Amino acid sequence: MNLRFVVPALPSGLDYPVKLVGGAHGALDLGNFRIDESRLGVSPNSLEIQSGDTATLLFKIDYEAPAGGLPIDVKTNIPNSVIMPEAIIAEGDMTVNIPIKGGETGEGKLVISAPGFEGTEVTVKVF
């Protein structure tokens, strides 16, 4: 007998208990399931944008995004310089291109993370 299941986007590095529920026996403990950290690809690893111009960031994962998609959290220390929409890799996709528009002049970084993925940074200069 084979069992198939979908693992939602959960924090990595943790153990999650697995139980088989149903039938006359109630719940059967199967053990623990551990989610290993994966790498979120981001290209390019640095941006130089003229104020008012637009560049594109590519986000890539090595497998299809889970049901509901994979939200990507992007924070910056220069919020008036970087204008961008929410980033999410759609369900079933492995990549997404996100436009980045240069706002006020500034230099800083984007700090990028997603559930179950190692975080990364992209340096940004808006001139």
pLDDT in tens, the chain (127 residues): 677 766 776 777 888 888 888 777 778 888 888 877 788 999 999 999 999 999 999 999 988 998 889 999 999 999 999 999 999 999 999 999 999 999 999 999 999 998 888 889 999 999 9
pTM of the model: 0.74
- Determine the pLDDT at residue 1: 67
Domain map (residue ranges) of the chain: 38-126
Bridge partners of 95, per DSSP, are: 60
Tell me which CATH homologous superfamily contains domain 38-126: Immunoglobulins (2.60.40.10)
